Chains A and B, each alone.
Chain A
């Protein structure tokens, strides 16, 4: 395994965030409605992690460091983990564990249904994230994992539906998502490769000059 310490560091930092939120909630530092804050934070956390996982490939292209890819799977799994916790917090804090209510919400409210669809998408990706699945699925693995793109769009729609009067934060996420998706358009990707090659070439040249 490459970069075991960096991976461990990543694991600990992402795992510690929800623990910190729980600590804040337990000490009443999240205000009078800690449940709602936890639900929102976990949902937005899942989205941020999903965007981060999608940033790894463009970062590799841009920087030429292949290490980024070593973190991609873990970040993607964390996005699923946060999303699952987001659902659990919603059931516990907002529905008071009334499961019949959840069934009704799922049918009646499109944004809840969208959230469920996105979670199923992330679940499929998480379940097929193992080396074994990669080998077993072969070429189809890559195809299957392209569902991360529609999943991201569904997540953004799910969030947009919840926004009441302020679209500021959502616009930020949507912009980042648009940039990350654009980076995957073949012509953009080629340009990205060229730019980074030129850029790194110049750097290397500078270094040589400085050394000489």
Chain B
């Protein structure tokens, strides 16, 4: 196991979880271990100690079913501690819920994620309206532990649960005219208080996009869970993109539309401030944001006595895997 257990979780599960839930969970884990053993796989000592401080969630039955067959630790990061769950869920940028880091956690519970419809359109053989179950049912659920680097110079390490975006795209059969994938976030002001204030400069709905080869890269993930459970609303429930070598704002949340398009889509931050946020937004310590340096990052959680400032890695540490996508490109121009 390559994951160092974060110190904040260094306590017995029975100390932090109500006993009934704890026993319940233990039964579930035994069941999971049993089914893994039955499948002839080594029983994985997953979840328990690492996700001890995770609040359990009500997940749809199909999710629980998929969870039992999940490939735990399919991708891990070396020598990195997983960010404690309370931090990953209470320090978020999700402007639809408000501008402060705590707003998404405060207001996220207002979001209704069931039922959820994702519209697929554009240059694609199988357009239509899909439920999440439809989209992910055939793909294997994988746990992938990725570094997450925000453009604001802070970072975390998150254990996502999701399916390969390439898998999902292949099954939708885009045509050869599909050069880019465009994603759109839900815009539902009655459940998203951040959209109702007059002060936000964002033009909703939030839009992000990837070049086709970026979307088809094996690291690109459509996440439906994290920390061994479904995604909390503030983290982009019920499904979101995760592109670990790009700044966090590329990893669009709560997706309701996936469009296959010929032209590079106009994305939200790029349209708002083109001199500050590019379409590519690859993590790059050598190219500063006009207002701050990207050479370093604050790995959260930091504390009063250790600000935990560290050097940012090229492509967020995924250079070996993704650098070839940008061969010959001027990354200073295409930031």
Contact = CB atoms under 8 A, between A and B. Distances in A.
Contacts, number: 86
B87 interface: yes
Given A33-B154, A92-B307, A168 B288 contact: no
Interface residues of A, number: 30
Nearest to A93: B307
Contacts of B296: 95-96, 98, 101
Interface in B138-179: 152-154
Interface residues of B, number: 33
Given A31-B91, A36-B298, A96-B296, A168 B304 contact: no
Interface of B: 83-84, 87, 90-91, 95, 99, 101-102, 152-154, 197, 199-202, 272, 288, 290-293, 295-296, 298, 300-304, 307, 309
A32 B91 contact: yes
B95 A93 contact: no
Given A31-B90, A31-B101, A32-B87, A109 B300 contact: no
Contacts of A164: 99, 152
Given A25-B304, A165-B200, A171-B199, A33 B288 contact: no
Nearest to B202: A165
Contacts of A165: 95, 99, 200-202, 272
A137 interface: no
B304 A94 contact: no
A33 B293 contact: no
Contacts of A26: 304
Nearest to B304: A25
Nearest to B90: A31
Nearest to A162: B291
Interface of A: 22, 25-26, 28, 31-36, 92-96, 98, 101, 104-105, 108-109, 111, 161-162, 164-168, 171
A95 B309 contact: yes
B270 to A, nearest CB: 13
The dominant DSSP class at the B interface is loop
Contacts of B295: 101
Contacts of B91: 31-33
17 contacts: A25-B303, A28-B301, A31-B102, A31-B301, A32-B91, A33-B300, A35-B304, A92-B307, A93-B309, A105-B292, A108-B293, A161-B291, A165-B200, A165-B202, A166-B201, A167-B201, A171-B199
Nearest to B295: A101
Nearest to B156: A32
A110 to B, nearest CB: 8
Contact of A166 (B87, B200, B291, B298): B200
A94 B291 contact: no
